[in-house]
Amino acid sequence: MNRLLKTIGLTMVITFSSQLSIASDMPDGAKIFSQKCKMCHALDKKKIGTAVKAMNSDAEQLRSAITSGVKRMPKFGHKLSAEEIDSLVIYIQAQKTDI
């Protein structure tokens, strides 16, 4: 009986912590942006590409620009996962809210 309870307890701990690790595995848009985008996109001013605050805020358009590229911007569809692209879209939209 005692052993059964321990097993159930342990299973719950494992289940719970694996869910936690899924949450912390969410890609970090800010970090990806600084690694892959910052060299061409500044927050407030135009660099090689559009300033983040001047980007359009439509999620579909942002996603398609990142996936397929725009003008001289390379495409990232094969380099980033859908979750990473979504985290970038959320990051860009969050930067635009304080204009």
Q: Between 6 and 46, whose beta carbon lies closer to ligand HEC?
A: 46
Torsion angle of C-alpha atoms 49, 82, 32, 55, degrees rounded to 10: 30
Find the shortest distance in angstroms from Cβ 26 to ligand HEC.
17
Number of neighbouring beta carbons within 10 Å of residue 26: 12
Q: Between 10 and 53, whose beta carbon lies closer to ligand HEC?
A: 53
Q: Are 87 and 32 in contact (CB under 8 A)?
A: yes
Question: Which residues here bind ligand HEC, judged by CB under 6 A?
Answer: 36-37, 39-41, 48-50, 55-56, 62, 65-66, 70-74, 76, 88
